[in-house]
Amino acid sequence: MKGANGVNGVYVIGVGMTAFGKHPDRLAADLAAEAILGALDDAGLRTVDIEAAWVGHVFQGMAMGQRGLGAAGISGLPITNVENACSSGSTAIYQAAMAIRAGAHDIVLACGVELLSTKFRGALAPDETDIETQIGLTMPAVYAMRARRHMEQYGTTPRMLAAIASKNKFNASLNPLAQFKKPVSVDEVLAGRMIADPLHLHECAPVSDGAAAVVMVSAGKLAELGRTRAVRLAASALRSGKMEVGLPDMTVEDLTWRTAEAAYQEAGLGPEAIQLAEVHDCFSIAEATRIEGLRLYPRGEYPARVERGEASLGGRLPVNTSGGLLGKGHPLGATGVAQVIEIVKQLRGEAGARQVPDAKVGLAHCRGGKARGVEGTACTVNILTV
């Protein structure tokens, strides 16, 4: 399989997102429009400059992208709606990059959007054809099993897992666009309601609404526009696979590693070059298995390292400086784009109180899909550099 890099570089020159949280009074199209117009403003471009768009979402219905761009006053373009479960927004970025690399377009938009709070009460509706769901193996149950296995195998403690959630809630408290504004201590996490033992309420991603968008350009267009705050998309990889729920070891994220390996190869660098990462922490344990799957920390050691502060702001390799899904919120389709936005802000030195000093290389990781033990999971890894 050939890499997707090709001769043309791809650069992010504008980012925009809504506040993540509950927006029951708004339409998904309006949220998308706010993010899109924010990204255009940040890029110093007008609506007519956009040549094509990709819009990621999961539950927003037919022609979401057309409605969202329409609400932003953008009309007539090639627009493609993409869905890859929780990787939908990052897949929009992947496809938008592909179009630039094809030479088809020079200025493109990738957007992610989801309005969940008015569609679901409490949790996402399980798929009725899903046998695992029918026997009670919902997402929290799947991740609780992984947590138990990680504890059994590596001596991970509930307190270490709670430290992941506490770190992300703290980071979120420094992010004006995050859903959660208040730091939560490890003790507070552990005192929270048990959702699926050993995972407490604060260790599970919330129901969120929001949208995020990025403007991406070709190397040629970047030179023409002369933007100085551009961040290079050094790799954008997508792979699919099964969710690891069975043998030999459900704590090993084979799919995450296969995707990361493709991205590292495309970017021409390895895990040792990554200075900060946004990863798909839909549950506290998920951040651990993903970071280990990306080989950013040694297998089995991540929760203990978090407890020692290594993944915190100021630590060796900060993870989810934005607050992650646990702190910033998780509007499914918007998540992958918002992760890339955090990396872009960090690499521009515009992350404010969350700034990682001298950040030059960051990674964003998403994965999601059905719990059932069949092929049904999508994973993306985007690597950005300045």
Task: List the alpha helices (DSSP H) in 174-245.
Answer: 186-191, 219-225
By CB under 8 A, residue 126 contacts a second copy: no
Residue 181 or 242: the one with the smaller Cβ distance to a second copy is 242
330 is catalytic: yes
Q: Which two tokens stand for residue 237?
A: 């990889």
Rounded Cα gap, residues 339 and 278, in angstroms: 6
| Choice from 121, 129, 248, 358 touching a second copy (CB under 8 A) | 129
330 binds a second copy (CB under 8 A): no
Residue type, 24: P
Is the distance from CB of 280 to CB of 368 less than 8 angstroms? yes
Fill in the per-residue mask, 6 to 45: x = in contact with a second copy (CB under 8 A), - = not in contact.
Answer: x--------------------x------------------
State the Cα–Cα distance between residues 284 and 308, nearest whole angstrom. 16
By CB under 8 A, residue 49 contacts a second copy: no
Q: Which of these is catalytic: 23, 57, 86, 204?
A: 86
Please tell me whether residue 74 adopts helix, strand or coil conformation: coil
Distance CA 91, CA 110 (A): 9
> How near is the Cβ of 232 to a second copy at its closest, in Å?
17
H or E, element range at 52: strand 52-56
CA distance 337 to 17: 9
Q: Which stretch binds a second copy (CB under 8 A): 95-103, 179-187, 189-197, 316-324?
A: 95-103
DSSP H/E element including 143: helix 139-154
| 370 interacts with a second copy by CB under 8 A | yes
The encoded tokens of residue 362 equal 């960051």
Q: With 0-12 CB in 10 A as exposed, 13-18 as middle and 19+ as buried, what is 145?
A: middle
Looking at the Cβ atoms of 13 and 82, the one nearer to a second copy is: 82
**Segment interacting with a second copy, rule: CB under 8 A, options 38-46, 55-63, 133-141, 334-342:** 55-63
Stretch that binds a second copy, among 1-9, 159-167, 244-252, 274-282 (CB under 8 A): 1-9
3-state secondary structure of 61: coil
Q: How far apart are CA 212 and CA 55, in angstroms?
A: 10
CA distance 174 to 36: 23
Residue 56, phi then psi, degrees to nearest 5: -100, 130
Site string for a second copy, 197-216 (x = CB under 8 A): --------------------
Residue 219 is a binding residue for a second copy (CB under 8 A):
no
- Active-site pick, 105, 280, 330, 365: 330
Nearer to a second copy, 74 or 177 (CB): 74
Rounded least distance, CB 16 to a second copy, Å: 19
Report the distance separating Cα 45 and Cα 149, nearest Å: 50
Residue (125 or 353) nearer to a second copy, CB: 125
Count of residues for the chain?
A: 386
Q: Residue 262: left if φ>0, alpha if ψ -120 to 50, beta else—which one?
A: alpha
Name the token pair of 102: 């094809």
Q: Strands (DSSP E) along 176-333, which ranges? A: 194-196, 199-200, 209-218, 231-242, 276-278
In whole angstroms, the minimum distance from the beta carbon of 368 to a second copy comes to: 8
241 binds a second copy (CB under 8 A): yes
- Selected binder of a second copy within 30, 42, 106, 287 (CB under 8 A): 106
Q: Near a second copy by CB under 8 A, which window of 11-19, 58-66, 137-145, 334-342?
A: 58-66
To a second copy, the closest distance from the beta carbon of 54 in angstroms equals: 9
Catalytic residue status for 202: no
**Contact flag: residue 48 with a second copy (CB under 8 A):** no
When the beta carbons of 29 and 186 are compared against a second copy, the nearer one is 29
Exactly one of 19, 37, 77, 252 binds a second copy (CB under 8 A); which one?
A: 77
Which residues belong to the active site?
86, 330
Catalog residues that contact a second copy under the rule CB under 8 A.
1-4, 6, 27, 51-52, 58, 61-67, 69-71, 74-85, 91, 94-95, 98-99, 101-106, 127, 129, 237-242, 258, 369-370, 374-378
